[in-house]
């Protein structure tokens, strides 16, 4: 069995838990199942209103990984506000993914375009790296953006694969979107960046992506994984996604 590149996003688990004033389903409990089954780590996106992941969840997950899964990774996603950076400093995840999300967004739906954001990102990247946290930037599938990410100090990018995932019913459009993702991955690798991918990835569309960019080091998957797990269970879906990635 090869090393995993699957990072399971457990935001949806937290959203379901928050429907009641009860401790189940357990965010840490489901995260533990995923990691025991072979996931490389856990991703969470704590938003300011805590409508799904709460700050307390972040610390609970960090403690879980430190105590029980020291070879696994925690990734925090968020817009680099002072409050989010304070959380990163205190929780010290393995990786932080900076995303250009407004607080009211339901999900990340676009990447950084840089421009006026460069100063903000440079400051956030410098801080995170001082805390020994690996920095990734969320980018649209556009090869021209990768060198800019490298120039301001990012170590990795995560390619927004939402447009590719949205073509589930159109093989022709899916091929065009996959071409953009693959070209962006190649540009990032040429710029010396690690390459991650995430958004609307499924067991059906992952194989084609991996065949075009086998050097992708991490896929962060939440919605598609959770939908699959409702049928196959958390542990079963880890195996299904890892099989789609050619790992088992």
Residue 16 makes CB contacts below 8 A (sequence gap 6+) with 25
Residue 108 pLDDT: 73
Residue 102 pLDDT: 74
Binding residues for 1-deoxy-D-xylulose 5-phosphate: 47, 52, 107
Instruction: Locate 212 and state its tokens.
Output: 């075009």
Residue 205 pLDDT: 98
Residue 211 pLDDT: 97
Cα torsion 193, 79, 124, 92 to 10°: value is -80
Which one of 73, 158, 177, 199 is the catalytic residue?
199
Residue 36: enclosing H or E segment and its boundaries? Answer: helix 27-36
Which one of 73, 77, 158, 218 is the catalytic residue?
77
Active site residue 50: no
State residue 210 phi and psi, 5-degree precision.
-65, -35
Active site residue 232: no
Active site residue 110: no
Residue 110 pLDDT: 83
Residue 85 pLDDT: 98
The DSSP call for residue 154 is -
Q: What pTM, to 2 d.p., does this model score?
A: 0.95
Q: Locate the domains of the chain by residue range.
A: 6-245
pLDDT in tens, the chain (248 residues): 568 999 999 999 999 999 999 999 999 999 999 999 999 999 999 999 999 999 999 999 999 999 999 999 999 999 999 999 999 999 999 999 999 987 666 677 789 989 889 999 999 999 999 999 999 999 999 999 999 999 999 999 999 999 999 999 999 999 999 999 999 999 999 999 999 999 999 999 999 999 999 999 999 999 999 999 999 999 999 999 999 999 99
Radius of gyration of the chain (CA): 17
Task: Assign domain 6-245 one CATH number from 3.40.50.10680, 3.40.50.150, 1.10.3470.10, 3.20.20.70.
Answer: 3.20.20.70
Chain center to CA of 152: 20
């Amino acid at each position: 069995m090869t090393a995993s590149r699957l990072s399971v996003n457990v935001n949806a688990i937290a959203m379901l838990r928050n429907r009641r004033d009860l401790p189940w389903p357990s965010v840490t409990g489901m995260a533990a199942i995923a990691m025991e089954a072979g996931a490389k780590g856990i991703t969470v996106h704590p938003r300011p209103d805590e409508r799904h992941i709460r700050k307390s969840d972040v610390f609970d997950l960090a403690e879980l990984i430190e105590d029980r899964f020291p070879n696994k990774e925690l990734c925090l996603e968020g817009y680099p506000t002072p409050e989010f950076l304070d959380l990163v400093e205190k929780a010290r995840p393995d990786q932080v993914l900076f995303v250009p999300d407004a607080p009211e967004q339901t999900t990340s739906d676009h990447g950084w375009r840089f421009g006026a954001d460069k100063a903000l990102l440079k400051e956030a990247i410098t801080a995170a790296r001082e805390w020994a946290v690996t920095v990734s930037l969320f980018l649209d599938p556009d090869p021209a953006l990768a060198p800019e990410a490298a120039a301001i100090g990012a170590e990795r990018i995560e390619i927004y694969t939402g447009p590719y995932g949205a073509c589930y019913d159109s093989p022709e459009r899916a091929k065009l979107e996959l071409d953009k993702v693959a070209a962006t991955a190649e540009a990032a690798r040429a710029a010396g960046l690690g390459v991650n991918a995430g958004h609307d990835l499924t067991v059906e569309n992952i194989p084609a992506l991996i065949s075009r960019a086998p050097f992708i080091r991490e896929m962060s998957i939440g919605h598609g994984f959770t939908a699959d797990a409702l049928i196959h269970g958390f542990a079963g879906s880890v195996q299904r996604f890892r099989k789609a990635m050619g790992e088992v």
